[in-house]
């Protein structure tokens, strides 16, 4: 057991459920393990091997399963690599070095090299969006396009602990209330598909047993964002309780010459059903 888990038994329960979820990954997929200086990194590879490469980066307290709903569409035209970030509740190493270093960009570079990928599009959610920007601002020549869903490090971060900590004391009901608020207060669907229900139950199990990062994501300076000369798409929810989405929109459009922004007035930090938007952008950006 390491510090990222509350108990050893909780760790085993979450990872066992994760492995079971991965059995339903759409289409043919390879489960790869890439050695890095931070430890082994778990990657799910799917899609045509000669197609343009797209790396999928999940958010905090999550793993590659967060991309399962989009994988069937994205793998039709792209070689997709869904990466379990180190220090998160997946099958990669549990190392969690400080974010305010070059370590994460170096780690992702090692992962790409281990996969035999010299240039790729990066798509990231929240913390994964921060990682995509961290890598792309340091090594823009190796990035063909960037997709950001509610990314960290651009707009001002909000302190959610003030209202989230009391809810965490209320068990499953409190955790569900937090997720509702993270989704912008959208009403819960009356009917959930078996896949959505299974993933929701998995996320509740994860939050009950995992210790999320509390470290503030290092912000990007205007000069760093200006290095991004590749096509960039940002999908932002106006009701994001974690990040100032309006600030993110303003800074990206001001500093990134090829930035496109999709603004969702009724959405929060948790964005769903954006696969077609992401796929359409990547087709335009990566197809000759």
pLDDT score, position 167 = 45
pTM over 0.85: yes
pLDDT score, position 241 = 84
Q: Residue 14's closest CA among 33, 22, 254?
A: 22
pLDDT at 173 over 90: no
Q: How confident is the model at residue 181 (pLDDT cuts 50, 70, 90)?
A: low
CB distance 154 to 251 below 8 Å: yes
Task: Report the distance separating Cα 169 and Cα 166, nearest Å.
Answer: 5
Burial of 173 (0-12, 13-18, 19+ CB in 10 A): exposed
E strand or H helix that includes residue 111? helix 103-115
Token pair of 71 as six digits: 């994988």
Of the chain, the percentage scoring pLDDT greater than 70 comes to 86
pLDDT score, position 261 = 98
pLDDT score, position 204 = 85
Token pair of 231 as six digits: 């096509």
Q: Residue 207's closest CA among 27, 46, 59, 49?
A: 59
Token pair of 5 as six digits: 């888990």
Task: Report the distance separating Cα 5 and Cα 200, nearest Å.
Answer: 19
β-partners of residue 46 are 29, 80
Q: Residue 262's closest CA among 55, 131, 273, 130?
A: 273
Domains and CATH numbers, the chain: 8-286 (3.40.50.1820)
Cβ-Cβ contacts under 8 Å for 205 (sequence gap 6 or more):
13, 14, 17
Q: What angle separates helix 8-22 from helix 194-209, to the nearest 10 degrees?
A: 160
Name the phi and psi angles at 14, rounded to 5: -65, -45
Minimum mean pLDDT range among 40-44, 121-125, 150-154, 166-170:
166-170
Task: Report the distance separating Cα 75 and Cα 81, nearest Å.
Answer: 10
């Amino acid at each position: 057991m390491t510090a990222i888990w509350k108990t050893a038994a909780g760790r085993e329960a979450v990872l066992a459920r994760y492995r079971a979820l991965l059995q339903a990954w759409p289409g043919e997929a390879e489960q790869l393990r890439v050695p890095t200086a931070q430890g082994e990194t778990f990657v799910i590879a799917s899609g045509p091997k000669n197609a343009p490469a797209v790396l999928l980066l999940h958010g905090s307290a999550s793993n590659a399963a967060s991309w399962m709903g989009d994988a069937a569409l994205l793998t039709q035209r792209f070689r997709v690599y869904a990466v379990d970030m180190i220090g998160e509740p997946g099958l990669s190493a549990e190392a969690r070095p400080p974010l305010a270093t070059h370590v994460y960009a170096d780690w992702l570079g090692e992962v790409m090299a281990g996969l035999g990928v010299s240039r790729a599009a990066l798509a990231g959610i929240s913390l994964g969006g921060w990682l995509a920007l961290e890598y792309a601002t340091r090594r823009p020549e190796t990035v063909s396009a960037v997709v950001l869903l509610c990314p960290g490090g651009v707009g001002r971060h909000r302190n959610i602990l003030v209202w989230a900590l009391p809810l965490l004391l209320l068990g499953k009901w409190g955790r569900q209330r937090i997720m509702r608020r993270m989704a912008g207060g959208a009403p819960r669907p009356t009917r959930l598909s078996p896949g959505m229900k299974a993933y929701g139950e998995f996320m509740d199990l994860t939050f009950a047993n995992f210790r999320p990062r509390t470290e503030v994501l290092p912000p990007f300076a205007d000069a760093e964002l200006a290095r991004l000369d590749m096509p960039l798409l940002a999908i932002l929810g106006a009701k994001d309780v974690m990040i100032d989405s309006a600030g993110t929109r303003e800074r990206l459009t001001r500093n990134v010459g090829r930035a496109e922004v999709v603004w969702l007035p009724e959405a929060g930090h948790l964005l769903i059903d954006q696969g077609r938007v992401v796929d359409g952008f990547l087709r335009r950006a990566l197809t000759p």
